[in-house]
Structure 1
């Protein structure tokens, strides 16, 4: 319980900091003023006007999923089933729509083809984890639904951890963007899912121990 009480606030802090960054960088200011976007504009063939039509839904839906997903992790969210289901539908819909948007954006990813592939891998993982969670809840398998929703949110949180790893890799390795972007994405996916799986394994073992003690006494 202590670990959960520590982890959730950390997730909330990073989720809200990331949202603040997105609002300032891409809504208060223009996307063209962002470093990674301004570099794309140096290419005269870059379709900036069309790209923005895909980019804004991508970041807005991503932020919605990030914030709602963080709240859905709490016990408070589950106390009101109607609200939990309603927010769950918004979370799932935000991701499923975003999944359709990401392929176009990834074609113009900073770092070229390696980054494009990395973002498409993220997109597939996002779709599979979220869709699996939806399938399980439609089958009334709440336990499996929660497991896969945690994995889904782990992929959603790549929005945040990707930028942290990108900063670390660029500072420590001075790697070119074609390397640092794709490597940051893969590390984010693997580490987020690894931490999630460790948590799920510990929760399963804890539940098994409690059942055993219950049988003894």
Structure 2
């Protein structure tokens, strides 16, 4: 592994750790006085949004960390650990994070384009995760690894979304500026998925 790759992996892990631990610590007290939940008061009053929100953020925080370690050779070569973390990841996506995201998407108030972006991302996430699980059950390990890269690339969209929000807010006109959130919504996961495809193709050409 080159030095550049190691640095990028370290930066990615720090972003994952910062986002996941920060989210858990911020919302573990289940207070509705946070800035984000204050914006979602009308959605919370429906009774659907808050349970879905907690399922999504806590589920996503756990799977972002467990999923990241799955790409470590040391973890991969430890078969019992790899299988355990894999089960946590798949279970977390299919039964907590993704269902929560579907409900939250119904309350998106930033236009049809943003709604479509989150809906497509979440559906692809479910499809790739389920496909990865079915492939490993059939013993198709190579295809399983490729599908898991796609799944995690979509999960990592939670990290890149926050990064772009920070970037646009700090150096741009903020997320409220016309079309900015639409750009951020698609930029948070489409490049991730394209990068996963590049890695899959590159690995497929290796001897």
Q: TM-score of the superposition, structure 1-length normalised?
A: 0.83
| Structure 1 or 2: more helix by fraction | 1
Structure 1 residue aligned with 2:183 = 183
Q: Against the structure 1 CA distance between its residues 174 and 84, is the aligned structure 2 distance closer, same or farther, given a 3 Å change threshold? A: closer
Shift of 1:14: 0.8
Q: Against the structure 1 CA distance between its residues 52 and 192, is the aligned structure 2 distance closer, same or farther, given a 3 Å change threshold? A: same
Structure 2 spans left out of the alignment, 5+ residues:
none
Structure 2 residue aligned with 1:74 = 72
Shift of 1:49: 4.6
Shift of 1:166: 2.2
Shift of 1:174: 4.2
Structure 1 residue aligned with 2:11 = 10
| Aligned residue runs from structure 1 range 1-217, under 5 A | 1-2=1-2, 3-28=4-29, 30-34=31-35, 36-41=36-41, 43=42, 46-47=44-45, 49-97=47-95, 98-170=97-169, 171-174=171-174, 176=176, 179-205=179-205, 207-208=206-207
Aligned mates of 2:154, 2:177 — CA distance in 1: 21
The root-mean-square deviation of aligned C-alpha atoms, in Å, is 2.2
Aligned residues: 204
Shift of 1:76: 1.0
Aligned mates of 1:198, 1:96 — CA distance in 2: 26
Structure 1 spans left out of the alignment, 5+ residues:
209-217
